[in-house]
């Protein structure tokens, strides 16, 4: 991470409103909300309104993506017909203007749910839990009035889940031969503007988002299972993963990462890593009992786990962006 200030060693405890967090998770897990659904538009409004009411600057980034037509899964290309469908999507963001430099740290989750062939998926853990952790972290940092070196920009990505049944079907079993996942994060990464001088490869947010230089990305995903176990994700920036694991030791006796072994997980951080932006994926990819199942419901999510993931994230943010 670029920067002139040394990390702050004081990390203030994140305020937590458990009633609000439960209400938010309930809203985010009431109904399935895959990309393109009526329900996901309601949730975009919900996220935006809650952050606006908290006094944060908010915005939407609406875009259209081509997705593989599910009717053609497993077939060969037919030159007489299109193999894709057009899908309207939107990313939602909220900015906490606590920074003094013209820079931004992104803290992100996806907010779409998985479209399941066998029936509705609610996806309270994937991705309600991480969406709520970020909402509550933004409230907490705002209320604690912490002074940071850069603005914090929370982003909720649309379309992380594949439209086809499996993550790689778009590339392997469909005539479109296209990536069919991480639509929202790829859209934002593609929208970043090169803004460094000749010697430094630096990326800035689109002007419509404010144009700040992007210092890094912290991604949360699937952080709500009972007895949260985070995965040491091996493609994440090593310095950021080491910091998160060190803070876990200090704050939670190392229970969150436990003895889990490093593994690579494909997620919304990849498009940012590919741009050279330091990125960290905090994902609970260990207990997969309810993953992409109709059983991924509100009742199965532990609010304690959601809170712990938000506290860990807030600590990483403060270590990275605090003043000496
Ligand atoms: Zn998922």
The alpha carbon of 126 and the centre of ligand 1 are apart by a number of angstroms equal to 5
The alpha carbon of 79 and the centre of ligand 1 are apart by a number of angstroms equal to 32
| Average model confidence (pLDDT) across the chain | 93
- pLDDT tens by residue, 239-270: 999 999 999 999 999 999 999 999 999 999 99
Residue-level pLDDT at 13? 83
Instruction: Look at residue 106 and give its three-state secondary structure.
Output: strand
Instruction: Look at residue 86 and give its three-state secondary structure.
Output: strand
Q: Where are the domains of the chain?
A: 18-321
Asked if residue 164 has pLDDT above 60, the reply is yes
- pLDDT tens by residue, 144-153: 988 899 999 9
Residue-level pLDDT at 10? 66
Asked if residue 7 has pLDDT above 60, the reply is no
**Where is average pLDDT lowest: 95-99, 114-118, 286-290, 308-312?**
114-118
Residue-level pLDDT at 3? 41
The alpha carbon of 108 and the centre of ligand 1 are apart by a number of angstroms equal to 14
- pLDDT tens by residue, 65-93: 999 999 999 998 777 789 999 999 999 99
- pLDDT tens by residue, 170-212: 999 999 999 999 999 999 999 999 998 777 789 999 999 999 9
CATH number of this structure's domain 18-321: 3.40.630.10
Residue-level pLDDT at 78? 75
Asked if residue 1 has pLDDT above 50, the reply is no
Asked if residue 39 has pLDDT above 60, the reply is yes
The alpha carbon of 198 and the centre of ligand 1 are apart by a number of angstroms equal to 39
The alpha carbon of 147 and the centre of ligand 1 are apart by a number of angstroms equal to 34
The alpha carbon of 167 and the centre of ligand 1 are apart by a number of angstroms equal to 9
The alpha carbon of 51 and the centre of ligand 1 are apart by a number of angstroms equal to 24
Asked if residue 8 has pLDDT above 60, the reply is no
Residue-level pLDDT at 235? 98
Residue-level pLDDT at 116? 83
Nearest to 106 by CA among 43, 150, 69, 139: 150
The alpha carbon of 141 and the centre of ligand 1 are apart by a number of angstroms equal to 27
Residue-level pLDDT at 324? 53
Residue-level pLDDT at 200? 79
User: Which pTM value belongs to this model?
Assistant: 0.95
The alpha carbon of 150 and the centre of ligand 1 are apart by a number of angstroms equal to 30
């Amino acid at each position: 991470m670029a920067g002139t200030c040394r990390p702050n060693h004081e990390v203030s405890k994140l305020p937590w409103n458990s009633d609000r967090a439960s209400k938010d998770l309930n809203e985010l897990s009431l109904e399935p909300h895959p990309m393109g659904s009526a329900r996901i538009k309601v949730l975009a409004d919900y996220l935006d309104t809650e952050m606006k009411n908290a006094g944060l600057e908010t915005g939407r980034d609406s875009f259209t993506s081509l997705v593989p037509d599910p009717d053609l899964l497993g077939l060969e290309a037919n030159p007489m017909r299109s193999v894709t469908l057009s899908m309207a999507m939107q990313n939602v963001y909220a900015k906490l203007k606590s920074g003094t430099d013209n820079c931004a740290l992104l803290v992100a989750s996806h907010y779409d749910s998985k479209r399941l062939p066998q029936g509705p998926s609610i996806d309270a853990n994937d991705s309600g839990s991480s969406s709520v952790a970020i909402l509550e972290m933004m409230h907490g940092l705002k209320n604690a009035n912490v002074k940071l070196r850069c603005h914090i920009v929370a982003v909720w990505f649309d379309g992380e889940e594949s439209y086809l049944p499996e993550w790689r079907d778009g590339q392997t079993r469909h005539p479109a031969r296209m990536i069919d996942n991480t639509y929202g994060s790829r859209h934002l990464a593609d929208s970043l503007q090169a803004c460094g001088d000749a010697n430094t490869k630096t990326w800035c947010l689109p002007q419509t988002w404010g144009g700040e230089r992007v210092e890094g990305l912290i991604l949360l995903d699937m952080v709500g299972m009972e007895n949260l176990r985070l995965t040491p994700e091996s493609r994440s920036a090593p310095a950021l993963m080491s910091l998160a694991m060190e803070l876990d030791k200090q704050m939670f006796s190392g229970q969150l990462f436990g003895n889990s072994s490093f593994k690579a997980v494909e997620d919304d951080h990849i498009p940012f890593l590919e741009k050279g932006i330091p990125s960290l994926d905090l994902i609970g990819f260990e207990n997969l009992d309810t993953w992409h199942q109709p059983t991924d419901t509100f009742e199965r999510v532990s609010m304690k786990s959601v809170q712990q993931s938000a506290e860990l994230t807030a600590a990483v943010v403060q270590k990275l962006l605090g003043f000496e």
